[in-house]
Amino acid sequence: MRYVSKIPRGSLLFAPMEGITDEPYRMAIQEAFPEWQYLSTDFLRIPTQGEYSDKLVMDHFGQRTFLNTKVKNKTAYQILTTAHANTAPHIQRIEKLGFDHIDINLGCPSKKVNSNKGGAYLLGDLPSLKKVISDIRENFSGLFTAKIRVGFRDDNNFFDILKMLEDEGVEAITLHGRTRDQMYEGRANWSYIKQAVKAINIPLIGNGDCWNLFDVEKMFDETDCHGVMLGRGALKTPWLATLFEENKEKIYAVNEEYLLFERQNNLDYYFYLLERNYLKSGLDKEQLLRRFKAFSRYIFDDYPNGDVMRSKFLRSRTLEEFQENLNKIKVNPI
């Protein structure tokens, strides 16, 4: 199976996140923490009328990524489309330009996207879902995967969705254990992941509320999933795949002091590589500061005084002030 040779069993995958995982961010992650086996663009919305240019389609993925075989091979091109969108010509364009992995976003809970009948809406409208999936499969010979939730309003279609995706030629599924209507409430229900693993014969990636190494191990153990995808947990600990690789045989021995020590070690390296990649992409310092603040949302959570630290970083008026704060942590962490 080509998915398995690209993303072996036991892999950790960095989730697509709109507003975060643009090209400079992905390049920095790959450079700093190459143990992530998979990265993804956030979604390109396929238009209902007209066609995007080759340049727009390429820019969404990123030229530097495209030219770097190692990064390109582990990066999926995510799209979001509807039954009435101009899907086929865009899929042909994506293939013609040389992309070899398309992932369809069937989990987006945004009101705007769903009222336009895209994202998680399709999980509640199986005839439209089938049309969308076959529009893509018929026009794309590369690897085709889907990222879903357990349903739109409820889980009534859950097994039908899984079966249909498999029958229509989807090669792997990532499942976030919530319905669309649950948005991000409560905790993701991993029992759906376990059931999905048993129900289909293609790789199933588990997703939802893995925040640390222990959660990752637990999700693998409880569900027998092929891989684990992390979104907010990856933003909190971007070096989590490295930690997992280094400790997977002895996670029971990992303690809080070690994890905090690793946070200290990795924080400024992470921000340094982000700075390098964003400045190369043309961002100025003010724009970069705004980005840095967005990347700080969860990253101080594990410090005993995390809230105070975060608000200090969020109050930084200049990039230099943000970086001074980083230096201070290095010397005097807590």
Query: Measured from the CB atom, is 59 or 268 closer to ligand FMN?
Result: 59
- Does residue 210 interact with ligand FMN by CB under 6 A? yes
Stretch that binds ligand FMN, among 89-97, 127-135, 230-238, 245-253 (CB under 6 A): 230-238
Query: Measured from the CB atom, is 23 or 329 closer to ligand FMN?
Result: 23
- Does residue 105 interact with ligand FMN by CB under 6 A? yes
Judged by CB under 6 A, the chain residues 42 through 101 that form the site for ligand FMN are: 42-43, 78
- Does residue 147 interact with ligand FMN by CB under 6 A? yes
End-to-end Cα separation, the chain, in angstroms: 48
CA angle 88, 73, 265 (to 5 degrees): 130
Instruction: Provide the minimum distance between the beta carbon of 184 and ligand FMN in the complex, in angstroms, as a whole number.
Output: 7
In whole angstroms, what is the distance from residue 277 CA to residue 272 CA? 9
Instruction: Provide the minimum distance between the beta carbon of 330 and ligand FMN in the complex, in angstroms, as a whole number.
Output: 28
Q: Which residue from 107, 118, 227, 238 is in contact with ligand FMN, where contact means CB under 6 A?
A: 107
CA angle 281, 103, 95 (to 5 degrees): 75
* β-bridge pairing 227-230 and 143-151: unpaired
- Does residue 230 interact with ligand FMN by CB under 6 A? yes
Return all residues near 281 (Cβ < 8 A) that are at least 6 apart. 23, 24
Query: Measured from the CB atom, is 295 or 300 closer to ligand FMN?
Result: 295
In whole angstroms, what is the distance from residue 112 CA to residue 116 CA? 6
Q: Which residue from 16, 118, 151, 206 is in contact with ligand FMN, where contact means CB under 6 A?
A: 16
Instruction: Provide the minimum distance between the beta carbon of 191 and ligand FMN in the complex, in angstroms, as a whole number.
Output: 16
Stretch that binds ligand FMN, among 18-26, 153-161, 259-267, 306-314 (CB under 6 A): 18-26
Query: Measured from the CB atom, is 68 or 110 closer to ligand FMN?
Result: 110
In whole angstroms, what is the distance from residue 156 CA to residue 239 CA? 37
Q: Which residue from 26, 176, 236, 310 is in contact with ligand FMN, where contact means CB under 6 A?
A: 176
Instruction: Provide the minimum distance between the beta carbon of 311 and ligand FMN in the complex, in angstroms, as a whole number.
Output: 20
- Does residue 23 interact with ligand FMN by CB under 6 A? no
In whole angstroms, what is the distance from residue 165 CA to residue 145 CA? 9
Instruction: Provide the minimum distance between the beta carbon of 324 and ligand FMN in the complex, in angstroms, as a whole number.
Output: 27
The residue type of 20 is I
Judged by CB under 6 A, the chain residues 233 through 252 that form the site for ligand FMN are: 233
- Does residue 19 interact with ligand FMN by CB under 6 A? yes
Stretch that binds ligand FMN, among 11-19, 91-99, 127-135, 214-222 (CB under 6 A): 11-19
Q: Which residue from 24, 227, 231, 238 is in contact with ligand FMN, where contact means CB under 6 A?
A: 231
Residue 61 and residue 27 in contact, taking contact as beta carbons nearer than 8 Å: no
Task: Please tell me the count of residues contacting ligand FMN according to CB under 6 A.
Answer: 21
Q: Interface with ligand FMN by CB under 6 A: which residues?
A: 15-20, 42-43, 78, 105, 107, 147, 176, 207-210, 230-233
